Structure 1
Amino acid sequence: MRTACLLAALVLSAMACRPDIDDRTSRVDRLRVLAVRAEPAEAAPGAPVKLSVLVAGPEGPRGDLVADFAFCRDRRGLAEASPASASCLDDTGIVALGASAGAPVTGTVPGNACGLFGPERSAGATGEPSGRPADPDATGGYYQPGRIRVPGTDLALFEVRTRCGLPGATLEATADYGRRYRPNANPALSLTAAGTPHADAAIVAVRAGEALPVTASWPACTSAPCDGAEPYVAFDLASRTVVDRRESMLVSWFATQGSWDVDRTGRTEADAERDSSNTWRAPSTPGSVHLWVVLRDARGGTDVHTVRVDVR
């Protein structure tokens, strides 16, 4: 079984992207896991987190399928080429969270998450030097990995951003970071198609072969927490200081038929614009088509919208 954990292919300067859920192509021509959303988007070890999944196929959303969630219990060793530990992939090293069809599953971030997958010293995995801390991502964050099994799909991996300490920081920097840092919040996605706003699960009618311009947008955000491109602080390892940053935003576009001009768009952290556009081109034959738009911020937050298009 292939493992569906792939890095977003959109290369944007200074954009930080976590491994995405089966984000290889915009065409949904088989059963796939398109996105996982954690609520809250960032949680401390020992805190509860609610997980929901978007499963889609050629016929549309598949909320009727049972999704089985688990956190990985072991850290991937340096000698392992897979995106997660072998014990997580074969279920011998997992923390089971539960299974559900169409409803969120609630679990608890393991208490040792910052030791296994963060900056705290741990015993290390097979083939890895004992006690080597994990490296942060480009935003300074650490993540608890997990896996999802859905019948008929490839094994999918997800990550929950985990609140950990600062490695190598001075007392002054640690205090400054503690005062100013706010945990990540999920973004709020809005869609406009052909100039008309559409709520989630909206129905749009177009002619066969017609081009449908679609814009994904998010709210203005001047202070955190908020549901736009949040400002945040990060510890810069090179200068050993706390620096101000802003989240980049990545938009992934999916469709059961027709085609998007591009699979992914987005905004870098240096770009203050609050939207990103794409064009979907309807197939030449009438029928029902499903579109999905997935918005992800640089620190692991996610939101999803579904649109059904009646091609006439």
Structure 2
Amino acid sequence: MAALVGMLTAGLGCSGDLPDVSDVEKLRVLAVCADPPELSDPGESTLRALVAGETGDVVYHWELCLLGGDPTMGFECRDEDARIDLGSAVEPTVPIPDLDPILAAAEAAGYTIDIEDGVDVQVKVTVTDGSDIRAEAIKQLRISRKSDQNSNPALTGLDVDGVDWPADQGIVVRLGQEVTLLPHADEARLQRYDDQGVEVQEEALYSWFAETGSFQKDRSSGEFPDNTWVAPTRDELDDRVPPFEIGLWLVLRDRRGGCDWTQRRIRVVEGLPQAGAPAP
């Protein structure tokens, strides 16, 4: 239904060693959310991108394709007349016109599209940070004329070792320390919907990211939303010298194009008298 394809492009070739999906070692787009994620035509939706690993000021460029293909194949527009430049705003508004003329042209070209059930249009964001690296992501935005359109889920909190971890507070961990993370989503925002004649409820899917250290799993969901993050050991450090701060990001998706996210700061030190203590 909705997909995000993240791609890293360096100025000089690419490496054969792919990093762990949870690692944020350089500029990345971790998620793109649309509000609303599903809408009728004509209408508007606001976009925002979760960018991490930047080394300078982030510059955005957004494009919309009203007749896109498979997002796993990149940003492919079937008709250049359906391509719209959305500019360089941090959170642009996507204008969706009346699609009837475009759908008629598509059908004349041999494509069968059912707007009543819904179609996906593609949005691409490209970000740079002043280095020789750029990051791109493709988001599918659902356009339908259904009465029960999807809305975004919502993260309501994150616990660390059984204690609430407010978004505006960091924590301190020692080298090699393990912490247990438990996300919370607003159950009322996980909608019920018709899936081929069967009423089902959305399931929260969590994706985890951090600048260093390691997660027990890259994604968690369902009855087991918790995860474990392990701080790096001294042998795993590159050029970092404790104490240092890192970022941790959590993205919530509902598998139907809706998403939300949150982020936290962690201070890594040599030793710690009390595990999980608030950062100074």
For Structure 1 versus Structure 2, the TM-score category normalised by the shorter chain is 0.7 to 0.9
Counterpart among 89, 93, 96 of residue 106 in structure 1: 93
Which segments of structure 1 move beyond 6 Å, counting only runs of 4 or more? none
Counterpart among 178, 182, 185 of residue 151 in structure 2: 185
User: Structure 2 matches for 1:178-257, cutoff 5 A?
Assistant: 178=147, 181=148, 183-189=149-155, 190-221=157-188, 227=189, 229-234=190-195, 236=196, 242-257=197-212
Which one-letter code corresponds to 1:82 in the other structure? M
How many residue pairs align between the two structures? 244
Cα offset for 1:45? 1.6
Contact 2:77/2:83 (<8 A) preserved? no
Separation of aligned partners in 1, 2:77 and 2:47: 23
Give the match for residue 136 of structure 2. Answer: 155
Which one-letter code corresponds to 2:154 in the other structure? A
Cα offset for 1:131? 3.3
Q: Tell me whether 1:52 sits opposite 2:48 in the alignment.
A: yes
Cα offset for 1:245? 1.6
The percent of aligned pairs where both chains have the same amino acid is 29
Give unpaired runs (5+ residues) of structure 2: 8-19, 235-241, 270-280
Cα offset for 1:247? 0.9
Alpha-carbon deviations, 1:248-280, whole Å to 9, x = none?
22111001000111111112xxxxx5x611100
Give the match for residue 123 of structure 2. Answer: 146
Give the match for residue 68 of structure 1. Answer: 61
Q: Tell me whether 1:85 sits opposite 2:76 in the alignment.
A: yes
Which one-letter code corresponds to 2:123 in the other structure? G
Q: TM-score, normalised by structure 1?
A: 0.69
Give unpaired runs (5+ residues) of structure 1: 1-16, 166-177, 222-226, 237-241, 268-272
Contact 1:201/1:305 (<8 A) preserved? no
- Secondary structure at the counterpart of residue 249 of structure 2: strand
Contact 1:149/1:156 (<8 A) preserved? yes
Moved more, 21-30 or 298-307: 21-30
Superposition RMSD in Å: 3.1
Cα offset for 1:86? 5.3
Alpha-carbon deviations, 1:133-186, whole Å to 9, x = none?
2799xxx75322111111232332111122236xxxxxxxxxxxx4xx2x2221
- Secondary structure at the counterpart of residue 279 of structure 1: strand
Which one-letter code corresponds to 1:97 in the other structure? L
- Secondary structure at the counterpart of residue 307 of structure 1: strand
Q: TM-score, normalised by structure 2?
A: 0.76
Give the match for residue 214 of structure 2. Answer: 259
Contact 2:6/2:136 (<8 A) preserved? no
Cα offset for 1:308? 0.6
Separation of aligned partners in 1, 2:217 and 2:260: 19
Gap change, CA 1:204 and 1:43, over 3 Å in 2: same
